[in-house]
Amino acid sequence: MKLTSIARIARDKYRTAGLRGSYWDAKVLADEIGRVFSDENRAFREHVLRDQWRYLTGLPQSGNAEPVSRLQLAIQWLLHAQRATQDNGVPVGYFPCRSETDRGWMPSYPETTGYIITSLLAYAERFGDQAVQDAALRMADWEVNIQMPSGAVQGGPVCSPERQTAAAFNTGMVLDGWCSAYKATNAPEYLEAARRAADFLVKDLDENGYFRTNGAYVSPGEIKTYTCLCAWAIYRFGSIAGESAYHDAATRVIEAALRQQQPNGWFAHNCLTHSLAPLTHTMGYTLQGVLEVGVAANRPDFINAARRGVDPLVARLDGRGLLAGRYYADWQPGALSSCLTGNAQIAIVCYRLHELTGERRYRSAADRMVEALKDLQETASPNPALNGAIAGSFPLFGGYMRAGYPNWATKYFVDALLLQHRLDRQT
């Protein structure tokens, strides 16, 4: 990476955090690094050091690994995470260096548990695994039990009803899970919960097609373009219910998102907190929403917009097959580390574009990203909380979900592996 890019990243990080924020960030980082060297974190410490060595030396990936064994490891990690809770949700993730966690596990997270349901049910159907389906349906039941009276899903980790605050994006992600649960079971409780969530989302749209209720856990006062992923869940519900009004609402959401796309394919207002250089994670949300509604609604303009957004990323894969964690509007890197969730999400979009267009370059790019993720997946740790998981960042102490394993990184890795497996069987 050029020195000018590094200076730009450092300058913007300081401007965002300020002097006080930078001090506290540094203090928290120092505390976390200190905990790496505690006795109980011996296995994690070995992984951190190996990971950092790979990052500094630029060692290439070790070669292709077949997807099924890696899928099984990732699925087992998600089930292990669910068992670590008391409520049948899935924890935010495993973060062994955070002082506020219970044995490294954070509280359950309604938003991402919602779309994990879809991944587990897809795996269960593909491989005939009843235990995985049962685990997914326990998640879906838990989500029904904590749904807000308005039909919304709360933002942030699970909390008591009086502390819940609604979030449109989280509602869309759980709506996706309920749609999948209903398709797997025809159980009316999932259809009812899904309808309440879909109605909340449709009513939450403003006159321009943007969601009003972004919630308390993201920066306020701006459009959140990545919430267009909710449109896919709304469209799915419309198909299940046989009601075109939901399809119409979903296409309005994507049309609004496309008004944020720049001529070079980059989307504005497309991050949780730092829209000048959005995460590849939120870019992935946007691209998948645009693409999948485009496919479902037979809108070539949506599909072409997704291609314009993903093509610059394909061109920027590094020697390992990874992307920078953030990108500025001129497509220059906005982070020194890689956001592994974002890599998995972009790989998913590339696999889907390969399926739709037949263009080999998309398959090649997706395979490179997925093989890099396989190379970073822990497979033989004495700590079962590490085996099968994908970290937040490469290296582990990078800028996104530092020093831990957010559940959604492994969820999207599962989705990418399922697509790779499907395509492998077709060749």
For 15-42, the DSSP string reads HHHHHHHHHHHHHHHHHHHHHHTSGGGH
Q: Examine the pLDDT at 427 and tell me if it is beyond 90.
A: no
21-38 pLDDT, tens digit each: 566 677 888 888 889 889
189-245 pLDDT, tens digit each: 999 999 999 999 999 999 999 999 999 888 888 899 999 999 999 999 999 999 999
- How many domains does the chain contain in total? 1
Please report which confidence band the pLDDT of residue 323 belongs to, taking 50, 70 and 90 as the band edges: very high
C-alpha pair distances (Å), 112 with each of 93, 116, 136, 194, 258: 10, 6, 12, 16, 25
Q: Which pLDDT score is estimated for 172?
A: 98
Q: Which residue has the tokens 């990243």?
A: 9
C-alpha pair distances (Å), 127 with each of 11, 66, 131, 377, 422: 49, 15, 11, 21, 12
Q: Is-contact 183 132, C-beta < 8 A?
A: no
> Cα–chain-centroid distance for residue 249?
23
Q: Which pLDDT score is estimated for 61?
A: 62
Q: Which pLDDT score is estimated for 79?
A: 98
Return all residues near 165 (Cβ < 8 A) that are at least 6 apart.
154, 155, 156, 215, 216
Q: Which pLDDT score is estimated for 356?
A: 97
Q: Examine the pLDDT at 410 and tell me if it is beyond 70.
A: yes
Q: Is-contact 289 299, C-beta < 8 A?
A: no
- Identity of the amino acid at 296: A
Residue 299 structure tokens: 């809108």
Percent of the chain with pLDDT over 90: 83
Residue of 14 and 122 predicted with greater confidence: 122
Q: Examine the pLDDT at 12 and tell me if it is beyond 80.
A: no
Q: Examine the pLDDT at 63 and tell me if it is beyond 80.
A: no
> Tell me, what CATH number does 305's domain have?
1.50.10.10
- Entry pTM: 0.95
- Distance in angstroms (rounded) separating the CA atoms of residues 183 and 203: 24
By residue range, what is the domain housing residue 352?
3-426
Q: Which pLDDT score is estimated for 60?
A: 61
167-188 pLDDT, tens digit each: 999 999 999 999 999 999 999 9
Q: Which pLDDT score is estimated for 64?
A: 67
E strand or H helix that includes residue 94: strand 93-94
Residue of 264 and 60 predicted with greater confidence: 264
**Mean pLDDT computed over every residue of the chain:** 93
Lowest mean per-residue pLDDT among 14-28, 187-201, 267-281, 407-421: 14-28
Lowest mean per-residue pLDDT among 7-21, 210-224, 273-287: 7-21
- Distance in angstroms (rounded) separating the CA atoms of residues 244 and 227: 21
